[in-house]
Structure formats: C-alpha cells, structure tokens
Amino acid sequence: RTVAGAPTSVAGTPGDKKVDLTWTAPVDTGGAAVTDYVVQYCTSTCTTFTDAVSSATSATVTGLTNGTTYTFQVAAVNDARTGSYSARSSEVTPRTVPGIPTNATAVANNIGGVKIDWSAPTSDGGAAISDYQVTICVATDCTNYGVNISTGNQLTYTVPETPTRTMVGYRWSFLVRAVNVAGPGAQTALIGPVDPKRVANAPSNVVATVDNSGGVGVTWTAPSSNGANITDYIVQYCTGGTCTTYNDGTSATASASVAGLVKGTPYTFKVAAVNTAGTSAYSLPSSAVTPRTVPEPPTDATAVVNNTGGVVVSWTAPTDNGGNAISDYTVQSCVGGTCTSFAHSPASTATSQTVTGLTKGTSYTFKVAAVNAAGTSLFANAAAAAIPRSISGDPTDLVGTAGNAQVALTWRAPVATNGSAISNYIVQSCITTTCSAVAHEVSATPALTVTGLSNGTAYTFKVAAVNEAGTSGYVTSLAYTPRTVPDAPTGVTATPDSTGGIVVAWTAPQFNGGSAITDYTVQSCLSTTCTTFTRSASTSTSATVTGLTKGTSYTFQVAAVNVAGTGLYAKASGSGATPRAVPGTPTNLAGVVGNAQVALTWTAPANNGDEISDYEVKWCLGASCTAFAHTASADTSITVNNLTNGSAYTFQVAAKNAAGTGTAAVSGSLTPRTVPTAPLSVLGTVGNQQVALSWNVPTSNGGAAISDYIVQSCTGGTCTTFNDGTGTVTSATVTGLTNGTAYTFQVAAKNIAGDGPYSTASTSITPRTVPDAPTAVTATADNTGGIDVSWSAPSNNGGASITDYTLQSCISSTCTTVSRSLSTDTSTKVSGLVKGTAYTFQVAAVNVAGTSLYSTKSAAATPRAVAGTPTDIVGVVGNTQVVLTWIAPASNGAAVTDYVVQSCISSSCSTFAHNASAVAGITVTGLTNGTIYTFKISAVNLAGTGSAGTSSAYTPRTVPNAPTNVRAVPDNTTGIDVSWTAPANNGGSAITDYVVEYATANTDYVVFADGVGTGTSAKVTGLTQGVEYIFRVAAKNIAGQGAYSEISDYAKAIARTVPGAPTATASPTRDGAIQLEWNFVSSETDGGSEITWYDVEWAKVGESIWSSAPYRYRTTLVKGLDIGKQYKFRTTATNAAGKGKYSQEVIAIPQIPPKSVTNLTSELTSSNGDQRLKLTWAAPLDTGGAALTAYYLAYCSTTSNVCDALPTVFPRNNVLATTITFNVQPGSYRYYVSAVNPVGVEKCTDDIRCGTSIPVDVAEKNPLLVKSD
C-alpha cells in the first residue's frame, strides 16, 4: 500500500467565526481505506485544524476571525501515512450579522415627517454593511402595526407622510438594524416615541364683535394643530386693503380684544395659528364691523305729576348720538340718593315718559339718559321734584283656610292709605275667570268667612280696599277648595302571589270628598282583629301585603285618605286569601355511584302552603350545570344516568309547587365508575426461582382509583395466581418458581368496582441461580478509621461470570452492606466505620442471577480515627438567622469538645465564630434573608476535626414588604380590575399569594376570595353598581402575611359599554385632503370608559368598498383622494369595552385651489377725462374640483412697490364675470387676477400678489397706452 491521493473540489461556506468545508474523497486511496483527513486553513501561512479522527468528507473549521480571508487545503490519511494536500479552495471570509447601530435618534421635522439618524455599529460582523432596515411602529407596537423599510447604507432616513400613512396625529417609534451578507443584525432599542407635526391649518369662522367702547372682540374656531400644540395666534385688522398685526402678546386662546381702532371706520379681521412647526396661512377675513361709543346726555328735563300716582317726565334729545342712532331712553326716579330705572316696553325714542309705580306722598326727583347700540349715556337731571298722589294701596297677604262648603279669609290692610282711611273692603269669590261679589256688612276689619261654597270646587278670592278716593287694586289669593273625607273604595280583591304575600287591589271611590286622594290604608284581618299594613304613601290602587303567616286565611279592607282625613273602609269580596310561597330547600341529599350513573335520595322540604308537585334535578361539572330530564314526580329519589365515569359531579335538587321553584340543595362530590381495562406491556427480569415483573397502568381506571393488581404465572397452559398482598405499584417479584422452567405472566387491575380483564401474556422467561459463597475472608485495620478486607473467589460461579462482590461489615449479628463501585477485585478498603467498634466482615459473589450466600465472617477488626460526622442536621429559618440542631457523632474513643460550624453560599463557606461547646445545637446569626445557605458541622476531639456533615438548604426569611402602585380600574360589568406591583423585597422567600381587600367610605375592609395565586392583578366581582371602592393588597410568603399596601384611588363599580356614535363633520382643505373631525353629542357617550382609538372609513359615493385607518385623536386629514369626486366618511370609537357604533355618513368633495386664469389682457380707455382700465381673462382650465366662487384682484405700483386689493368679483345672478373696468391713475402697475373656489386661491407670493399678472403703464397724456405680456 501507499499514501492516498489528494482530495479534490474543496469548497467552504462561511459562518460566524467558522467555515463549513466539503471535499471529494481521492479516487486513489493508496490501497488502504482512508481513516482521516488533515484540514489546514491558510492566510499568509497555513495552520492545521485539530478535530476528531473521521473519514467524513466534511468538517467545520472553528476559531476563525470574522472578516479575515482564508483558503483551505485537505490531505487524506491511511495506514501508510498522510497524503499530499489538495489544491487550495477559493477564498472564504467568515462573518456574522452586524452589531446594533448606535446613537440612534428620531426628531420630528415640521412637514409631518420624522428624521432618524444613527451611527454604524461597532462591528460589521466581518462583512461590509449593505443596508439598514428601519421598522416604523405605531406608538410602541411593532408587532401589529410594524412597517419595514430598507434605506440603503445611509446613516439617516426621513419617514414622510404618504397617502397611505398619515403621520400627524399618531405617536411613532422606530427600530433600526444593520444588514450584511450574513443577514440582518439585532435591532436597536425602541427609538422614540415621536409626535410628528406640521404647521397648523388656518383658523376658521372668524367673528368680530364691537365692544361698545371703541374696541372689537375677535373669536375664531381653532384649527387642527397637526401634531404640535398651538402656542399663539396672530391677529390682523384690515381696512382699505391694508392689514396691520395687532400686538396682543402670546396666547393659545381662540379670542382677542383689539383696541386702538378708529370709531366709525369699518374693519375686517383675519387670524393665523402658530405652533412649533411655524405659522399657518391666514384665515378668510371676518365680516366688517364698525367701532362705536355711547351718546351725549339729554337736556332740559322736567317732571310734572298727574292725579293717578304717576309723573310725566319730558326732555330734549342730545345733539351727539355717539355715531349710532338713539334707540331708547332710560328714566330713573330717585328718593334721596337711591335711584330706580323705570321699566317700559317697547323701546322708544319719544322724548317724554309717564313714570308709574311710585310711592304716593313721597317726594321724587327724576333723571334721563339716552341709549344706542353702544350703551347708555350719562344721566341728565330734571329741574324740580314731584310728589305723586292717588287712592290707597292694595291689601296684601290674602290667605284662606278651607272647610266644609266654606273658606275663612284673612288679609293685611294696605300699608299706604294715601291720606284717606280705609272704610270698607270689597270681597269677590272666583271660579276660574268668573267672579261674584260676596255680600257682607260694611267693615274695615281685614277678615271674612265666605260660606255657601261647593265642596271640590277650586275658588280664588279677591279683596280691594275702599277709601274716599276710590277703590284700590285687588289682591288675589291662591286657589282653595272646600272639602270633606272621601267615600269608601269599591271592588276590593285579594290574590296570593308566589312569595308569601297577598296582592290587594281595589277601585278608587267615585267621590274623593272634594280633595285629591293622597293615600290608601290597607288592613289585613284575622277574624275581627285587623292590622294596618305599613307602607309608603301611594295613590296606586293595589298593594302587596307581606309579613303574613303562610297557610293562614286572611280578609282585607281598604280606606281612601285625602287632606281632610281617612274615609270609610271597604272589605274585600270572598271568604279570604291564604299566603303561599315556593317550597323550602330539600335536606339530606345523598348519592350512590354506579357505572355512568348516580342514585340520589333526599328528604322533602316544607311546602310553604302548597303541595310539592315535582323536583328539579341538575348535574354539575365545576360551575356548569345541566338539568336532568325526567317525568314530574314528588318522589324523593332518582337515578341520574348517562354520566362520565371518573368525572367528579355535584348535584342540585330543588322542590316545585304552584308558587314556583325553591332553593336547590347541593350534594357533595360523587364520581361514577366501572372496572379498569387490562394493564399493558408486562415485562419480567429473571432471578433465582423468581421473576421480577413490571407493567404499565391500564389506559382507563374505570373512573375509580386502582386498588390492587392480580399477578398470574403460567406454564403449559396452566396459570397460578401469585399471592403478593394488596398494592398499586406496577411491579411484583414472583417467587417459588422452578429454575430452568419457562414461564409467561399476565396481570389484571382491580378497583372498587371489581376485577378487570387480564393483560396480554408476557414473553417467555426462565429463572436461574447465583454463585457459591467466597472463602478465606481476612480483615486488617489501618490507622485512618478504615479496614483492609480480602477474600478468595468461590469455586462455583453459579453458571454466570461473577460481576461484583457484595461486602458487609458486621457488629455482633448486625451487618451492613459496604457501598463501593462495581468490581471483581478480591480486596477492598472499607471506610466510614464507627471508630472504636469491633467489626467482622462477610462477602457474597454477584452474577447476572443475583447475589450468592455470604462467606464465613472474618476475624474481628476495630477501626480507629477522629470523631465521626454529625448527622440529622436540621435548621429552622428565621429573620436573618437559622437555628441548627444535629445528632452528635461517635466520639471514636475521645469525647467531643466542640463543633466547627460553617455557613455556605453555593461552594463558598465561612466559619461561624462561637464559644467552644459540645452542645449539638447553635443559632447562626447575621445571615441575609432570601439567600440560600447550607451548613457544615464537624466534630472536634483530641484526635482532631472529623469530617463535616452537611445540612439541607435553608433560606432565612421574614414576611414580604407591602405591594406598591395599587390601581383599580372598572371593567365592562360591575367588577373592578385591581393591579399592583410586587414588593421590592419578598422577605427572602417567594411570594405564594396576595390578599386583596376592598372597602367603601363607610364600611370596613372585606377580603376578596380569589383563591391562591402569585399574579399581580385580580378582578374583584360581587360589588354594588355605582358604589365607589378603595383597595389594598398584602403579600404572603411561607413566613406569613406582610403589611398592606397604601390604598388605591376610589374606583366606581359601574357597567360600561362600547362608545356611542360620534358626530362627524368633513370639510375640504386646500391640498386636496378632507379635514375630518368628530365628537360626541349629549345623547351619545364614551360608554363609561376612556376612548383609546378611532377608526375612520371612507369610500366614493355610490361604491361599497371602504378604506379605513386608525387614529388617536378626534381630527385627521384623509389624503390621496380623487379631486372633485364625492366621498362619504364615517367614524367609530373604541374603548376598553370594544368598538362602538358608526357615526352618520358625511359627504365631502376633495378640492384644491384652482389653477391660474388664462388669456389675461388689459385695455385702457378714456371717459369724461378719467382714464379707465378694462381687464379681461378666461376661467382656469382646472377649477380644483369645485365651482369657482369669485375672482380676487390686486395691483402693485412697480415704482413704489405699494400694493392694494381691488374689488373682488362675485357671481351676479349665478354668473361669474371674467371682466372688470375701473378708473386708474397715471403710473406703472402690475395687475393680478386669481380664481377662488371654496378652499382658496392658488399659491400667492404674499397676501396681495396672487395668480396671473399683467403689467400696465398709465401715461399722463396718453391714456390709451397699453403694454401687456
């Protein structure tokens, strides 16, 4: 043989710090099999890669450097030696994915996008970075809304708004990762969130209102802020084409008060919004308003009394009306320094007024002021005082007391008699508007009893005072109705209900005694003894009487009550009514289980006044219950069948009578069952005259736990049951067998229902025996506590090679097996013995059949050494300590004087300092709660320190700290979701449960029964609708319950629903989008839960396919629509309860400003010495999707650069003209014409220069000169 040839086709695939190589085996193996390959990797030199011996034609070369270029060569190895190396592979460069980009930031620009910047990762993974991928996320959700964008290898990317991605109005976050040929690397941490922004839309609905002091109040509707809060508004006031910015400071309030204006001059106003993205376009101008002030005061005022208690005041109108027509005059009458305005209606510009309502005999002065739209002028005083005079005042405080066919009246005499004593009173009784005088003797006494009235008729009364000057005005009383008690009710009936009550009903009496019935008195009667049923006052003609004795017959009577008292009683018809109710709860509910059935029995309950007709029976799995169908019967037993064996059921039984179904009795848990199926996979292991069997449990235990297995051994067709007692283990050793005889075995399972079928028989198994005992056992003690034991192998190995020896050490007749590794050596060293104790030793040989008899014991040998190892080390944990106890070891001939105690964390141990003591117990202090310790204990005697005993692990602990951040949030029912943060310190032991308590402002805390759990939230149920609750939480661990948390805020148990339908509006913007805004009206609500999201949908009118997008705020711009097409829009809100109703559909047409007008020409003419300019143009070819509403015209002097607006061209008779003629002055000008539609004009250079323009030179002497372009 010779060396193998060189391998061929060496190729590599790069990986992370490795290359996976493959090659083709050499054709010439040199006459011997290839047993290995030598692989070398090469840069400037070659290095042999060390790997396991293998004839495979592939290898993974590891330990390489990413980014370094390698070639590879391979040589084959056979018995001759290593052959020649292959040709080198192509260059291969190990690599991995790049690292994470660094210094990533995201900043909103001012045009609705977000600019993201980052630095390259510190590692490119060994391959050039070819791309960066940006993931765009809504808020922090990169799973449901993530969009991935490849940006090339740039270190910046600006995320723009697109027709399908509205940025403004949402919060966005971003992830960046680098990509090389190995793939994408890990992503950065979440960048953001960022709120994109644009300049705000223009304000709308600008309204100007004069303030009557020379100023103007301006209000407007705030526009969409487009992602950045509006911080200010710029207000301009305009007159004659010139607009001036009003300096009102900085404010985001949508109103301003503009002062310093010229009264009598008309102004318009326009407003622009400012946010951090810049200043918006100006609004459309307001309607024009004119500032104004109040008039000057009147002059020449006089006051003259009349003879009816009034005064006639006259004056001369003021010469200055304040710039606004006088609309009224205010007249005041004054006593001393107190003045009162005289109320008159309607407003009047007459220059005289009769003032009434004055106090007769009192001296008054008068003054007058003029009123216009701006307010009231200063007052002018009349020349002299005046004193009014008339008949006496009116009586007051007219009251009455109603009686049977009469009313007793009293009143208060007039305060003012106006110089004439009262001599009599005129009294009138009135039914509605018809009044008649009451005849009585002349008297000045302010009282009278009016008789002869009709009960039940409402009367009012009028009283006037009489003196020598005449009769005063009347005072009118309230309505009084003469009355008596009502008649008795009729048609009284009494009917039992199903809850033990009696429903008493009646018909109201035909005559109520002249006064509305306010209540009915109901009485229940046993024989002649009647009891009034207590209830709230009510005019209902029925009542349910409760608190009666079921099964007892009652009669009932009813009387009507009004303000005059209680009427006669009416008795119910019939012999009486007997209360009844649903039956009570059955008792002694018990069941006997069977195969898929349970036989139930129970004791009948009280029938509560009506015979039991049936029982409702239900079977329940957990909380889910199902009614058991059966024939109606009053029997107190039933068998429920068709159940599932092995399932734990409870049962509910409720009694029924004519009143309904009573409360159910609930059984304990009952489980149907049958016998098990056969065991599976019976296997056996041979022994000496025995076989050790094992098997698998049956596939079904029949619904009851297996209580035993029956084992049979079979030979020659005869099977014998092996008596192994009762047990549920799946193994047994069958003894008493004959070595050399073949057996099979079968097993049956048994449960409380009986014996199941036998399994399939095992394979055939034959027992065998063990070796003879070893001989010549000797034992020699060493000086370290051990014994050297040796022996001779037995002459008979039992027919199987000896595989081990079992060695036992014996004290007297008690022997213990020495633990050692499997070995056929005939000597060993025995350690772990009790020092100072005499031992003998015996040995047994082991083969596959088992262990032989033990040899004759050796002569005694006594070990000697240091003290033994402490045992049974037990600890009781406490707060930063563990109390240890142990059993002292054997002293080995020298008394124990101390113990070395070590506390260990993992493998690091430290000795606990303490006073020397032979006591087998100590408290180790200074430990850290929550840290797992083991403890080592070594005994010390005069011979030295013994080996250490080691405890189990113990963790010092105390109760947990209190949870924090307890929050309570109502759910969609009357429950409340309570959550909290686990305590920072669990006391050193895992938290096993949380205790949740709730209370109201007026109740103590109640523990909510939510089972045992370590979750940091709970849904608290069973609360009262509309009541506010507070919550607190405590943590529990094995050490006990910790302190309660601070209480939560109040949360109201309230059922909430999905939101109602929003009210939406849609309006076009100048960029072709639709501004959609929505809100809730008073009849719709947010469903009792904060709105978390809005869905906006849109479609073309007449089409049924809707587009949609989610939004956070109540306004958005819908872009990417077809200009001039009608679209319908709708929106719906989502809260914690789900998605709500849709708004009404609103219609809008996307529009843009119209394009430029065309064919603009100018023509100069002369008329009556004036030079006139005619401008003519054609409408734009593209009106922006909407009808034109006007043409805006302006001009600028090309010499002074002064510009101003010209009159706007509006439609007349629905026609929009495309020409205008007006006078012009000499000079050089440029005239501008732009088309206007509802969203505005095309883009302007400034506020004046918009649209298409044309230059015009107007000469001093040649008005017909025209220059145009």
**Cα 70 to chain centroid, rounded:** 58
Between CA 164 and CA 1211 the distance in angstroms is: 38
pLDDT reported for residue 1269: 33
pLDDT reported for residue 1083: 53
H/E/C letters for each residue in 947-959?
A: EEEECCCECCCCC
pLDDT tens per residue across span 703-758: 889 999 999 999 988 999 999 888 999 999 999 988 778 899 999 999 988 899 99
pLDDT reported for residue 834: 80
pLDDT reported for residue 144: 61
Query: By the 8 A CB rule, do 1068 and 1148 touch?
Result: yes
Highest CATH level, class, for 299-381 = mainly beta
Q: Residue 1228: which residues within 8 A CB-CB, separation 6 or more?
A: 1197, 1198, 1199, 1255, 1256, 1257, 1258
Tally DSSP H helices, then E strands, for the chain: 0, 97
**Superfamily of 1158-1258 according to CATH:** Immunoglobulins (2.60.40.10)
Query: By the 8 A CB rule, do 1057 and 1133 touch?
Result: no
Measured CA distances, 105 to 99, 102, 120, 194, 592 (Å):
17, 9, 13, 10, 74
What's the mean pLDDT in 300-312? 84
Closest listed residue to residue 576, CA positions, set 604, 551, 606: 551
pLDDT reported for residue 1246: 73
Between CA 1245 and CA 1257 the distance in angstroms is: 22
pLDDT reported for residue 61: 96
pLDDT tens per residue across span 468-501: 767 889 999 999 989 888 999 999 999 988 888 9
Is the confidence at residue 437, as pLDDT, over 70? yes
pLDDT tens per residue across span 1046-1099: 988 777 767 677 888 888 888 888 888 998 888 875 556 777 667 888 899 999
What's the mean pLDDT in 1125-1136? 90
pLDDT tier, 1189 (very low <50, low <70, confident <90, very high otherwise): confident
Fold for domain 490-571? Immunoglobulin-like (2.60.40)
pLDDT reported for residue 1211: 86
Q: Is 600 helix (H, G, I), strand (E, B) or coil?
A: strand
Query: By the 8 A CB rule, do 840 and 860 touch?
Result: yes
What is the DSSP secondary-structure string of 945-1014?
EEEEEEPPPB----PPPPPEEEEEEE-SSS-EEEEEEPPS--TTS---EEEEEEE-TTS--EE----S--
For residue 761, with 0-12 CB atoms within 10 Å meaning exposed, 13-18 middle and 19 or more buried, which class applies? middle
Fold for domain 871-950? Immunoglobulin-like (2.60.40)
pLDDT reported for residue 165: 66
Is the confidence at residue 791, as pLDDT, over 90? yes
Is the confidence at residue 1162, as pLDDT, over 80? yes
- For the ranges 28-37, 394-403, 410-419, 918-927, the lowest mean pLDDT is seen at 410-419
Query: By the 8 A CB rule, do 587 and 653 touch?
Result: no
Measured CA distances, 1164 to 218, 278, 1198 (Å):
42, 43, 18
Report the DSSP beta bridge partners of residue 1066. 1076
**Cα 590 to chain centroid, rounded:** 46
pLDDT tens per residue across span 223-249: 888 888 999 999 999 998 899 999 989
Is the confidence at residue 910, as pLDDT, over 50? yes
Measured CA distances, 247 to 21, 244, 257, 1255 (Å):
80, 9, 10, 36
784 sits in the region (left: phi over 0; alpha: psi -120 to 50; else beta) called alpha
pLDDT reported for residue 1263: 39
| Amino acid present at 1004 | D
pLDDT tier, 893 (very low <50, low <70, confident <90, very high otherwise): low
Is the confidence at residue 961, as pLDDT, over 50? yes
Residue whose entry in the numeric block shows the structure tokens 């660094």: 102
pLDDT tens per residue across span 347-365: 999 999 999 988 877 889 9
What's the mean pLDDT in 609-628? 92
CATH number of the domain at 587-666, please? Answer: 2.60.40.10
Report the DSSP beta bridge partners of residue 1064. 1078
**The two three-digit tokens of residue 508, written as one number:** 């109201």
Query: By the 8 A CB rule, do 1086 and 1062 touch?
Result: no
Is the confidence at residue 254, as pLDDT, over 70? yes
Fold for domain 964-1052? Immunoglobulin-like (2.60.40)
Higher pLDDT, 1070 or 368: 368
Q: Is 566 helix (H, G, I), strand (E, B) or coil?
A: strand
Sequence ranges of the domains in the chain? 8-85, 102-194, 204-279, 299-381, 396-476, 490-571, 587-666, 680-758, 775-851, 871-950, 964-1052, 1063-1148, 1158-1258
The second-level CATH assignment, the architecture, of 8-85 is: Sandwich (2.60)
What's the mean pLDDT in 874-890? 93
Query: Does domain 102-194 sit in CATH 3.40.50.10300?
Result: no
Report the DSSP beta bridge partners of residue 542. 505
pLDDT tier, 1004 (very low <50, low <70, confident <90, very high otherwise): confident
What's the mean pLDDT in 461-468? 90
Fold for domain 680-758? Immunoglobulin-like (2.60.40)
> What value does the mean pLDDT of the chain take?
89
CATH of 396-476, one of 3.30.365.10, 2.60.40.10, 3.40.50.720, 3.40.50.620: 2.60.40.10
pLDDT reported for residue 307: 64
pLDDT reported for residue 330: 95
CATH number of the domain at 204-279, please? Answer: 2.60.40.10
Dihedral over Cα of 1174, 1179, 1181, 1185: its sign = positive
**The two three-digit tokens of residue 339, written as one number:** 């003045």
Highest CATH level, class, for 1063-1148 = mainly beta
H/E/C letters for each residue in 1182-1228?
A: CCCCCCCCEEEEEEEECCCCCEEECCCECCECCECCCEEEEEECCEE
CATH number of the domain at 775-851, please? Answer: 2.60.40.10
- The reply to whether 204-279 and 964-1052 are identical in fold is yes
